[in-house]
Chain A
Amino acid sequence: MTAPARPAPDASATPDDPGGTGTGIGTDREPGTRLRRELRAVHALVHRDLLRLSVQRVHTALMLLQPVLYLFVLGGGLAALIPDSSLGVGYQAYLFPGMLIMTVQAPAIIVGIRLITDRQSGYLRELLMTPVSRSTLLLGSCAGGTLVSTVQGAVLLGLGGAVGLPYDPLLLALLLAALILASFTITALSLLLAVSLDRPEIFQMLLGLVMMPLLFLSGGFFPLANLPGWAHTLSAVNPLAYGVDLLRRCIALRVPHQTTAVGIEWAGRQPPLLLEGGLLLAGGVLALFWAAHRFGRPE
């Protein structure tokens, strides 16, 4: 539904094909149409991210461990204290969507950090030397980050049974779609931040400052309803809160007895599910376009 799910190249390439070479033609010297070439570059960058994911298995496992620990240690500990009636579900089940978002946000944010480290190491310049447009490079990074984040989120999704979620194919598909959407938007925002800053220290500092409040105000750990008014306002612009809320409402759609406290509210009313998803998508697309605009400025 978002970046990684591109339309089939050949279907859309034909109308844009200025040389009239059609499909299937292309040697090393004439690599087909412009669009196909750009799509190959996107594929190359996604490929790089997947290769890195498979190389850094230990790193990935450690990154996945954190939300799992939260889910079972924090969730398990607090579950005894928090009565099910106050949340509508057990605390671990309540915590699960928040932990899914926590799982996808970490690799999504790393995409931005890597853009900066690539710039510092000179790898970015190597990428810029290729005959690919700068927007494509950014799109490729975003697609790769979205895919890697979603893969990690999907792994955690497998633990759903442990908190009482049924392994219902439609529910899993809905949750996966919401995870792709959240991953895309967080990746795009991270890239936007990365093209606006040029030093990783500042990026890290900003993240440390911002991510904790964003996670706490996402409604992943506790219901937003009991928070003061200013916190509601912050939640209403917090992409993580929309991600968590989407997941929660997808669960509620398929498992009605797991309906939990209301998350996002605008002036006391819950916005439609599709509008929430659309907003998240629009935010991501906007961030990506803005980032591409900033990144594509001629020197």
Chain B
Amino acid sequence: MPTTAVTDPDTARSAARPGYAISTRGLVKSYRGPDGTTTHAVRGLDLDVLEGETFAFLGPNGAGKSTTLALLCALARPTAGHATVAGADVLSRPDRVRAAVGMLFQHSALDPDLTAEQNLYIHARLYGLRRRHARPRVTEMLETVGLAERRRSPVRTLSGGMRRRLELARGLLHAPRVLFLDEPTTGLDPHARAQVWEHLRLLPDRHGCTLFVTTHYLEEAENCDRLGIIDHGRLVAEGTPGALKAAIGDDRVVLRTDDDVAARQVVGRTAPSGHAVTQDAEGVSLRVPDGSAWIPRLCVALAGHGIAVHAASATPPTLDDVFFHHTGRSIHVPRTHRAPAATEEAP
């Protein structure tokens, strides 16, 4: 090989897509249920994440986020399709994928009886670090996440935010090329959340590590380089936060009236056709370009039908609107149903 300095076959295979930390084509994962039915958690996912970028992965509950994460870090085997993560194929070299990625699970777990240092040391050894490399690496990571002085504290005495940082340190012990974070800040107070993100932001500069984050906090997604929205097991949107918002264009007009049901009919007739009018607990909402100009016209129309308007607002598109546009759901509405099919809006 005179020109290319490729040393192992896995790198050679992924060399077709250089610069990508994650690349999937037609990724499918189906589960056979106990009653004989088949659940398609991921159905044909094509995803590309660049090396070194921070990628947010959004989707309603049950959209296939967790399954995708499990496939990408080779915890589960895809039913069809293929995925290359950190230069290795998840099907043929799951061990190589796992050696090159780190994972922060949503409900992460540490051994509560052992100290922070002991937890990290055991994991460093599990990742194959030699004894004399493991000790200094553990110390280094504890310092990185600001837990050096709590190294001898049993994990059960640490606060939630400290545990999260310790888990972050554990995920970084083996200097992964891709770090997966599943809802990394859920359940933390704003201060602890900010601290976790502070550490996350410092990472790519230091290791060139790619971050793949699922989150429910849209302000966190806003700070990512790019984001992808998954629904019903497929990628429905992908791009920078700015580009995704610009693609929607329409403002969101919300009207609170004394009879939202009737108001919805009136607004539907007044507004230009082709713009969705919905009604929920917030009131009646409508997406139109130049929303503030529509408010007086809608108020007049509603007054003509004897409906009083209590409040009206027009807001430029947010990521929540992007999310709603592509999934038909708001990310903030808590879902109790697991099956995506069973989520019709309440009447």
Contacts and interface: CB of A to CB of B under 8 A. Distances in A.
Q: Which of A32, A118, A123 has most B Cβ within 10 Å?
A: A123
Interface string A122-153: 11011111111100000000000000000000
Nearest to A125: B105
Interface in B161-186: 170, 174-175
B130 A127 contact: no
Nearest to B93: A131
Contacts of A29: 175
A130 B94 CA distance: 10
B92 to A, nearest CB: 13
Interface in B90-113: 95-96, 98-99, 103, 105, 107-111, 113
Interface in A45-60: 45, 47-48, 51-52, 55-56
B126 interface: yes
Contacts of A31: 127-130
A27 interface: yes
A32 B76 CA distance: 26
A37 B99 CA distance: 11
Q: Which of B76, B125, B133, B137 has most A Cβ within 10 Å?
A: B125
Nearest to B107: A122
A127 B109 CA distance: 10
B107 A28 contact: no
Nearest to B75: A128
B109 A299 contact: no
Contact of A126 (B123, B128, B174): B123
B109 A28 contact: no
A55 B114 contact: yes
A55 B156 CA distance: 13
Contact of A37 (B107, B128, B154): B128
A125 B109 contact: yes
Contact of A52 (B114, B128, B175): B114
A51 B137 contact: no
A121 interface: yes
A213 interface: no
Contact of B126 (A28, A36, A130, A298): A130
B118 interface: yes
Contacts of B76: 299
A26 interface: yes
B124 to A, nearest CB: 8
Contacts of B126: 40-41, 44-45, 127, 130, 132
Nearest to B97: A131
B95 A131 contact: yes
B300 interface: no
B329 interface: no
B113 A299 contact: no
B121 to A, nearest CB: 8
A27 to B, nearest CB: 7
A44 B98 CA distance: 17
Contact of A44 (B113, B122, B137): B122
A131 B99 contact: yes
Contacts of B105: 122, 125-126
B112 to A, nearest CB: 9
B40 interface: no
A43 interface: yes
Given A40-B125, A40-B126, A44-B126, 8 more contacts: A28-B133, A41-B126, A51-B122, A126-B105, A126-B108, A131-B96, A132-B126, A133-B95
27 contacts: A28-B129, A28-B175, A31-B127, A36-B128, A40-B125, A40-B126, A40-B128, A45-B126, A47-B122, A48-B118, A48-B122, A55-B154, A56-B113, A118-B109, A121-B109, A123-B109, A125-B75, A125-B109, A126-B109, A128-B75, A129-B73, A130-B127, A131-B95, A131-B99, A131-B127, A298-B77, A299-B75
Return the 3 tightest CB-CB contacts between A and B, nearest first.
A31-B128, A44-B125, A122-B109
